[in-house]
Amino acid sequence: MVLSDTRLGLILVFPLIALVLLVSLYPMGYSLWLSFVDVNFLTHKTSFVGLANYAETLQDPFLRNSIFVSFRFVVETTVLVTLLGLGIALVINEKFRGVSFVKTVVILPWALSEFATGLVGRFILDSSYGLLNAILLRIGVINQSLLFLNGANSVEWISLFYSWNLAPIGVFFILAALQTAPELLYKQAKVDGASIIARFRLVTFPFIRYAVLIVIVLSTIQAGGAVVIFYALTGGGPGTTSTPVPLYDFRVFLGSFNYGYGSAISWLALIFIVTAVTGYFYILTRRK
């Protein structure tokens, strides 16, 4: 019997699909199962607890606080990354001397790991040895060092550094889309007397809409899962003022070894992110 090209193709890609299922779906399934059980290392027993782990999330004041921190961080980061991405992309889309150099500089922060970005932030903001305090003291703006990473502002600082690290992705997505917009359309819009804002709204934005959507989606997913930068910059403190859900979950799962409850938190976080992303797609792709 001769195999059709389609069947042969399916057979040949089967190992890859199996591998993907193994490394992706299996851990997810395992984590889902963990979220319904309680693991006791002392007795080496795993007992099924139904939805008890999910119910516990409703009573957990640490988690409530972390949800608020995460929400704040995701919103701030997404807005910052999108605006920075859009602004920088519009600038480097123009033809000027040294634009290649600027493009290289713009992409550099992306080369840094999240941890390194956190350390950079710490070296700049620390109240004892931070660069920012040193500069402000030297030029006489302040006469004693400031505590930037305090309970009120630390999330904003973390968001700023994280956006700096993430913005190049936005820049290059949007820049690629910008370069597909025909020059002729701009010329015609100018002839028709369209203002800069009108040209952006009517000519540019339709071309970059999907790139912006991708940037928003990526930023949301990345920021929603960010943990290392919090760990490196503030450790989640002071108190729990900068402890997002993933960091709290990390502590529950790998610090307190509460695998069941930790998995339940992960699943709720996943549902939240998927819902948010679906919402973005709905808003940005619906037709009037």
Partner 1 sequence: MTEEEKKRITRRKYLKYVGAGVVVVGVAGAAAYYGTLPPSPPTPTETTTLAPATTSEVTAASSTPSLTPLTFVRWHYNDTAVTGYVKQFEQELNESVTEEILENVNYTSLVDAKFQAGEKFDLLYAVAGQEFRWLDLGYTQDLESMSEINKIKADFYPDILEDFKDMNGKLAGLPYFWCPMCNPYVNDAILEKAGIGGQRPETWDELWAMARKVKSTGASRYPVLPHWADVGLGGIGWAFLAEMSNIYNDIDLTKTLFAKDFHPVFDTNTEIAELLTNWQRVVKEGLIDPGVLSAGENDMFSLSLSGIHAFVSSRLYFWKAMNDPASSKCIPEKLHMVPATSKQGWGEINSGFYLWPKNNTDPERSERLMKFFGWKDPTTGKRLTATAWAKSDALLSGYSDVLSDPDVIAAFTLWLGDRVDETFKAIDSIRPTMAVPWIWKSPVYTEWIETGFSTLSAVAIGQTSVKDGITQLRSLADSLYKKYYGGS
CA-to-CA distance for 69 and 246, rounded, in angstroms? 10
User: Is there binding between residue 254 and partner 1 (CB under 8 A)?
Assistant: yes
> Tokens 């500089």 appear where?
105
The residue type at 249: D
Length of the chain: 288
By CB under 8 A, the residues from 140 to 159 that bind partner 1 are: 144, 147, 149-151, 154
CA-to-CA distance for 146 and 72, rounded, in angstroms? 23
CA-to-CA distance for 204 and 212, rounded, in angstroms? 11
Cα 195 to chain center, whole Å? 34
CB of 263 to partner 1, least distance (A): 15
The residue among 29 and 255 lying less far from partner 1, judged by its C-beta, is: 255
User: Is there binding between residue 50 and partner 1 (CB under 8 A)?
Assistant: no
CA-to-CA distance for 268 and 14, rounded, in angstroms? 31
C-beta separation of 234 from 221 below 8 A: no
User: Is there binding between residue 240 and partner 1 (CB under 8 A)?
Assistant: yes
User: Is there binding between residue 23 and partner 1 (CB under 8 A)?
Assistant: no
User: Is there binding between residue 70 and partner 1 (CB under 8 A)?
Assistant: no
CB of 229 to partner 1, least distance (A): 13
Task: Select from 72, 103, 122, 199 the one that contacts partner 1 (CB under 8 A).
Answer: 122
Residues engaged in binding partner 1 (CB under 8 A):
1-3, 8, 11, 38, 40-42, 44, 61-62, 122, 126-129, 144, 147, 149-151, 154, 232-243, 248, 251-252, 254-258
